[in-house]
């Protein structure tokens, strides 16, 4: 059984949300933009990290496979969020066999699962505030007053879009497109 | 024969991989390891030619304090990831194992079952041996179970075997072998009751 089949026969997978798939070849007409979103609706792209064994070198290499998952939850999923996927009894589409069951970690807003405290990569947020109180200064980033992620999507944040070169003048000029 | 290349190349030998003790129960599907590593060491390891520094000099990691640094509490799970994870993945090829580095300040291992249930292990200040023993005790198959499974696999593997759970129930079904004694009686000198001088049933 190949690794792809092994993964797809697994009941539960853990992965991270990846950008949606865009394809230049899927555009129906010249009027639309060069990069067309071909990810099925109500689906997201999830990168599943795993270890792939090389029988000649006898070593496991890190590999990430992209899997399409059906998202019927109301969680506002962004790129980088860690999810738990479960295999569906009836596939949503021939290429979509997994569905999202649980959000494990939000990207940039992580919590320690053992204590439930909010953390940064290096320390607990409460400890960082306590250190700032003792030593003074401006203190760490104030997560409580920070707006939720995704506030500037479409206006100033175009990280979910795919950059492309403007070889043709379309009706609307995208701010994230480039001129060679 | 030249020496094997790489870091700890003994991990790339079949005897080492087959010597793994941990075989997860069938319910376990995902295992994640979360711990901290020296961020600068990771950058140097990945881009060694761009960072010509002596990685054995401890002062190198003190130069830029905003790099995330590891802690002795994470050394046990680091060693576990380095020495034991290849064995675990070899013995459990259908389980997804992933390592997440510098995501949280405290080290932990999270295992996910087939119904989505999560099992957490706090491995702060634990050695790799302690972590392995704990995983075997909680989520691993016992030695008796592994022995039974090995016996069942051996029976299925070898086509010459016959008996319960094998392809042939009895060797008497094979043409050319001794026919079933229930149909064709065995010669008297083969039967123990005649060999030892017991009463002859024909009389």
Sketch out chain B's domains with CATH numbers: 9-36+71-142 (3.40.30.10), 157-203 (no CATH)
If asked whether residues A14 and A77 sit together in one domain, one would say: yes
How many domains would you assign to chain A? 2
DSSP-assigned beta bridge partners for residue A45? A18, A68
Give, as one character, the DSSP assignment of residue A49.
E
pLDDT digits (tens, 9 = 90+) for A22-56: 776 655 455 445 567 788 889 999 999 999 999 99
Contact: A112, B106; criterion CB under 8 Å: yes
In a domain, A147, yes or no: no
Q: Is B76 strand, coil or helix?
A: helix
Does residue A21 sit in the same domain as residue A102? yes
Q: What is the mean pLDDT of residues B170-175?
A: 86
CB contact under 8 A, B97 and A102: no
For A125, the domain range is: 110-141
The answer to whether residues A35 and A82 belong to one domain is yes
On whether both A33 and A101 belong to a single domain, the answer is yes
Query: What does the pLDDT read at residue A31?
Result: 47
For residues A55 and A115, membership in a common domain is answered with no
Contact B100, B154 (CB under 8 A): no
Do A7 and B94 form a contact (C-beta atoms < 8 A)? no
Q: Which residue of B has its CA nearest to A123?
A: B105
pLDDT value of position B54: 64
When pLDDT is averaged across residues A67-92 and rounded to a whole number, the result is: 90
C-alpha closest to that of A110 among A101, A120, A122: A120
Q: What ipTM was estimated for this complex?
A: 0.83
Q: How far is A113 from chain B (nearest CA, A)?
A: 8
**Looking at the structure, do residues A84 and A99 belong to the same domain, yes or no?**
yes
Interface test mutation site (partner A, options B4, B29, B67, max chain A beta carbons within 10 A) = B29
Phi and psi at A59, nearest 5°, equal -140, 150
**Does residue A89 sit in the same domain as residue A124?**
no
Of B14, B96, B106, nearest to A58 by CB-CB distance is B14
Same domain, A12 and A83: yes
Interchain contact, A60 vs B89, CB within 8 Å: yes
Span B135-154, pLDDT tens digits: 999 999 999 999 998 888 87
Model pLDDT, residue B97: 95
**Structure confidence at residue B174 (pLDDT):** 84
Chain A residues in contact with B122 by the CB 8 A cut-off are 114
CB pair distance less than 8 Å for B96 and A57: no
Mark yes or no for CB contact B103/A121 under 8 Å: yes
For position A18, which CATH number holds?
2.40.50.140
Residues A92 and A131 in one domain: no
Q: Which residues on chain A are in Cβ contact (under 8 Å) with B45?
A: none
- Work out the number of other CB atoms within 10 angstroms of the CB of residue A60: 21
- In this structure, the answer to whether residues A55 and A130 fall within a common structural domain is no
pLDDT digits (tens, 9 = 90+) for B31-71: 999 999 887 777 767 666 655 666 666 665 555 545 677 88
- CA-to-CA distance for A115 and A97, rounded, in angstroms? 34
């Amino acid at each position: 059984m190949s690794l792809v089949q092994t993964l797809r026969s697994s009941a539960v997978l853990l992965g991270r949300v990846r950008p949606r798939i865009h394809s230049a070849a899927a555009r129906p007409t010249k009027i639309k933009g060069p990069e067309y979103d071909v990810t099925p609706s109500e689906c997201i792209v999830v990168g599943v990290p795993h270890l792939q064994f090389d029988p000649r070198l006898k070593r496991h290499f890190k590999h990430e496979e992209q899997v399409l998952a059906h998202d019927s939850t109301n969680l506002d999923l962004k790129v980088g969020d860690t999810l738990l996927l479960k295999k569906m009894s009836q596939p949503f589409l021939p290429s979509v066999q997994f569905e999202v069951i649980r959000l494990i970690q939000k990207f940039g807003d992580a919590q320690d699962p053992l204590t439930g405290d909010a953390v940064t990569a290096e320390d607990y947020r409460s400890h960082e505030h306590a250190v700032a109180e003792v030593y003074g200064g401006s203190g760490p980033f104030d997560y409580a007053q920070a707006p939720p992620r995704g506030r500037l999507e479409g206006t100033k944040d175009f990280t979910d879009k795919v950059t492309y070169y403007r070889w043709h003048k379309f009706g609307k000029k995208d701010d994230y497109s480039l001129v060679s | 024969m030249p020496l094997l290349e790489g870091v700890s190349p003994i991990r790339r030998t079949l005897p080492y991989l087959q010597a793994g003790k941990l075989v997860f129960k069938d319910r376990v599907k995902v295992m994640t390891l979360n711990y901290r590593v020296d961020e600068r060491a990771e950058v140097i390891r990945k881009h060694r030619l761009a960072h010509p520094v002596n990685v054995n000099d401890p002062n190198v990691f003190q130069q830029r304090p905003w790099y995330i640094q590891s802690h002795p509490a994470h050394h046990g799970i680091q060693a576990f990831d380095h020495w034991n994870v290849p064995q675990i993945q070899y013995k459990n090829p259908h389980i997804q194992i992933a390592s997440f580095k510098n995501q949280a300040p405290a080290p932990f291992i999270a295992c996910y079952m087939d119904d989505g249930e999560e099992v957490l292990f706090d491995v702060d200040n634990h050695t790799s041996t302690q972590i392995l023993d704990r995983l075997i005790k909680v989520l691993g198959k016992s030695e008796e179970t592994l022995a039974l499974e090995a016996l069942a696999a051996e029976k299925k593997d070898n086509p010459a075997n016959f008996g319960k759970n094998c392809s042939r129930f009895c060797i008497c079904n094979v043409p050319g072998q001794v026919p079933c004694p229930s149909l064709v009686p065995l010669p008297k000198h083969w039967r123990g009751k005649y060999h030892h001088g017991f009463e002859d049933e024909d009389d």
